[in-house]
Copies of this chain bind each other. A is one copy, B any other.
Amino acid sequence: MNLKEFAARIGLSQTTVSRAMSGYPEVKAETRARVLEAAERLGYRPNSIAQRLATGRAGAIGIVFQGGGRFGPHSSEFMGGLSTRLQQEGIDILVSTVESAQDEAAAYRRLAASKRVDAVIVHTPARTDERIALLQALGLPFIVHGRSEAEKPFAFLDIDNFGAIAAATKHLAALGHRRIALINGDTASTYARDRDKGYRRTLAAEGIAVDPALTGHGEFTDETGFRLMQGFLALPAPPTAVIAGSMMSALGAMRAIRIAGLAVGEDVSLIAHDDVFPYLSPDNLVPAVTTTQSPIRAAGERIGDMALRLLQGEAPEALQEVWPVEFVIRGSTGAARS
């Protein structure tokens, strides 16, 4: 039975049947249920090429990574959430890995020209990000994971990075800490700038001078956390507290603190931002780590949902979310020793 015969048999148009079976949300839930039930009962299996031609949809969402090495724990949790949502609609994820920013732009041109994806997810945006203007010019729908500035509105989901690090800094200041270090991510990115702002403004509000020697940045790895923390501890006036941008940086920082013969939570207080990795819980570390917390898997799932709504015709300006970040106090923070 082909599409034409099947559609005639159940008294619906070929387009409606295709759209219902392709999983895109233009079709009412009850119609889709009816189509799927009839397909099951009558043994109809859609031909994918015919279906794609009928709907004009690729049935895939694209995501571009710069360098396979960047494919780490954050991307896997994000992809897990994204795929959980897209799976419900039978939509795939096309992963392109490229060498440089220039290659990333070329990848978007290629994806737009080849119609292999219906939309793309842009991650780790800069404050002004050329990718946004490019995608708008190409007419390729997109959702930004993070925030940026652009003339025309676009869809995005971000967490409150400013608020998270402001809360962490304020908590440490309230415990009497005056030398608070910050291990940040790549400061070309909005999220790292927002975190830096949250840190500086809170220090200023608490009457604490910013010491440039107490901030550092790099990739969110154990190694970077270790190296930066060792540098801080070697200063003539080392910090009594540190804020780590990720659980991975926190692991390295904790190791550096221990190697220096100091105790986390007693000699040096530690707060980490936790994107929530099921295998790396702050509760399991010794001592349990105080965190600012927002599950990146949930963000992936929500962004999948936003992409589907964008393709359904919702305006980008209606698809903009900033999520608050939880603050959870555990054993790694304590009063500053006088």
Contacts and interface: CB of A to CB of B under 8 A. Distances in A.
Given A279-B72, A279-B221, A279-B248, A95 B80 contact: no
A297 to B, nearest CB: 9
Contact of A87 (B72, B98, B221): B98
A172 to B, nearest CB: 24
Contact of A93 (B49, B85, B95, B221): B95
Contacts of A95: 79, 83, 92-95
A212 interface: no
Contacts of A87: 67-68, 97-99
Categorize the interface residue count of chain A. 35 or more
Chain A facing B: main interface SS: helix
B60 A94 contact: yes
A125 interface: no
A255 interface: yes
A81 interface: yes
Contacts of A279: 72-73, 221-222, 247-248, 251, 280
A29 B81 CA distance: 40
Contacts of A82: 68
13 contacts: A48-B110, A52-B114, A60-B94, A68-B80, A68-B87, A68-B301, A69-B84, A71-B80, A73-B76, A73-B277, A73-B279, A222-B278, A255-B284
